[in-house]
Amino acid sequence: MAHDHHGDDMTAPPSDMALRVQALESLLVEKGLVDPRALDVIVDRYENRVGPRNGAHVVARAWTDPAYLERLRADATAAIAELDYTGRQGEHMVVVENDAKVHNLVVCTLCSCYPWPVLGLPPAWYKSSPYRSRAVIDPRGVLAEFGTELNDDVEVKVWDSTSEVRFLVLPERPAGTEGWTEEQLIPLVSRNSMIGVEKARPASEASA
Amino acid sequence: MNGPHDMGGMHAYGAINPEPEATEPLFHEPWERKALALTLACGALGQWSIDEARSVRESLDPALYTSSSYYQKWFEALTRQMVDKGLVTAEELETATVSQVPDAGAYRVLRADAVDKVYAQGGPTSMAIDNAALFKVGDTVRARNMNPVGHTRIPRYVRGHPGEVVLWHGGHVFADDSAVGVRRGEHLYTVKFMARDLWGEAAPAADSVMVDLWEPYLEAL
């Protein structure tokens, strides 16, 4: 491996990984196979520009615009594209709706499939073995770890993302938000509520 | 393949311990940014499909797979793919010195000014196919008991179990073939499995798991 002669006495995995990634990048840039500025744009795109605020916008629009909700049910990919959220890892979107009787939860047991255009990159726990292994066999136990307790009469539906179809959970609209605007509702839509591990934030948590 | 990645239904991994959403960093090590970006930029070279990439990741040594962070898995697999495709050599990785300069003009190198357009466009996997769908929404089906040695997207925990077709997505690139470089479509369905059929009587009666499955994974029941 490339770290042997770099004179770096930190041999813990992180520094090893940092050196190996740097080495591959340098090789590929020198070969002309990678544009180093493209790497920066990719990181900027998914670190700063494409994230769960997009999904929150979709959800708040669906909560406030019944015609939009209908379009979202009929063709989620097209309805989400109306708000300009399109592309990689969101080419085939399906929206699943939570209510008082049904709670949906999304996982990818086989890898890390996740709807990037609306939620950005997945959090580390979503890609972890504990979540991937247990979400399908013990969804209620998983939800409890996120502080989400469901009544026994609520039906839990787990969606395992095994194809290129991507699922977005439409959380239940919090009580006490009647008449609120889309802009007021967006902060209540957490990323975790759109994966389905939590409910949307209560009205009391809205920032003034 | 029945690899370490197919972990749905296992108990051994313990608690999730999620970081709070508000304070969780998107990247936990600075190198993860470059591992992500290199994986995407190298994928854009067009030398492999996403299914081929997944196939390489799940073929990593099981001990490495289960002990690595996700970006480590990506990077290990990326390195192997670049070597397999002859874009870098093991010697170059060893010495961190370029010995072969490929004709970069022969490759679809992703330029900075194209990044946003390429990723906003994505790459749909839906495709027209000639044969009619064997199943329709509402049909009862069984996930086949099959154990292909190559890449597949039928998780072990549904194999042999009955389910109900709840969504039909039309033709989609069939992952098993795409993983070996053959882009061919099969009908894709979302199938609902009752939790009790998968996990036994201890599971709540109304709970269910939905799994996307291509037609070759299914048989009529």
Tens of pLDDT, residues A52-65: 999 999 999 999 99
- Chain A residues closer than 8 Å to B213 by CB: 162-163
Coil, strand or helix at B212: strand
B204–A156 CB contact, under 8 Å: yes
For chain B, the domain total comes to 2
Q: What is the mean pLDDT of chain A?
A: 93
From residue A108, give the alpha-carbon distance in Å to each of B8, B114, B124, B218: 9, 29, 19, 20
Give a yes or no: residue B128 inside a domain.
Answer: no
Range of the domain at B71: 30-121
Residues B40 and B94 occupy one common structural domain: yes
Residue A12 has pLDDT above 60, yes or no: no
CATH number at residue B144: 2.30.30.50
Given a contact cutoff of 8 angstroms between Cβ atoms, the answer to whether A167 and A195 are in contact is: no
Q: Which residue among B29, B126, B209 sits closest to A158, beta carbon to beta carbon?
A: B209
Indicate whether this complex's ipTM tops 0.90.
yes
Tell me whether residue A163 is one of the annotated catalytic residues: no
- Burial bucket for residue B114 (CB in 10 Å: 0-12, 13-18, 19+): middle
Last residue of one domain, picked from the residues B77, B94, B121: B121
Residues B81 and B157 occupy one common structural domain: no
- pLDDT value at position A206? 86
Using alpha carbons, select from B210, B37, B174 the residue that is nearest to residue A107: B210
Residues B58 and B94 occupy one common structural domain: yes
- Chain B residues closer than 8 Å to A31 by CB: 87-88, 98, 100-102, 104
What is the DSSP-derived secondary structure letter of residue A195?
Answer: H
Give a yes or no: residue B133 inside a domain.
Answer: no
Give a yes or no: residue B206 inside a domain.
Answer: yes
Mutation pick from B2, B13, B19, B21 vs chain A, by most beta carbons of A within 10 Å, is B21
- pLDDT value at position B101? 86
pLDDT in tens, B123-158: 999 999 999 999 999 999 999 999 999 999 999 999
Q: Which domains does chain A have, with CATH numbers?
A: 12-48 (no CATH), 51-205 (3.90.330.10)
A32–B204 CB contact, under 8 Å: no
pLDDT in tens, A179-191: 999 999 999 999 9
Sites in chain B below the pLDDT cut of 50: none
How many beta-carbon contacts under 8 Å exist across A and B?
288
B93–A1 CB contact, under 8 Å: yes
| Length of chain A in terms of residues written | 208
Residues B106 and B68 occupy one common structural domain: yes
Give a yes or no: residue B88 inside a domain.
Answer: yes
CATH number at residue B53: 1.10.472.20
Last residue of one domain, picked from the residues B121, B148, B163: B121
Cβ-Cβ contacts under 8 Å for B134 (sequence gap 6 or more) = B187, B215, B218, B220
Q: How far apart are CA B193 and CA B67, in angstroms?
A: 31
Give a yes or no: residue B132 inside a domain.
Answer: no
Residues B83 and B153 occupy one common structural domain: no
Give a yes or no: residue B17 inside a domain.
Answer: no
Q: How many Cβ atoms are within 10 Å of A39's Cβ, its own excluded?
A: 23
- pLDDT value at position A6? 41
Last residue of one domain, picked from the residues B62, B90, B121: B121
Indicate the pLDDT class of residue A13, thresholds 50, 70 and 90: low
A26–B119 CB contact, under 8 Å: no
pLDDT in tens, A105-152: 999 999 999 999 999 999 999 999 999 999 999 999 999 999 999 999
Give a yes or no: residue B159 inside a domain.
Answer: yes
Residues B109 and B40 occupy one common structural domain: yes
Please list the residues that pair with B211 across neighbouring strands. A160, B191
What is the DSSP-derived secondary structure letter of residue B155?
Answer: -
Q: How many Cβ atoms are within 10 Å of A106's Cβ, its own excluded?
A: 26
- Chain A residues closer than 8 Å to B102 by CB: 31-33
Tell me whether residue A112 is one of the annotated catalytic residues: yes
Residues B116 and B149 occupy one common structural domain: no
Q: Tell whether B136 is within 8 A of chain A (Cβ).
A: no
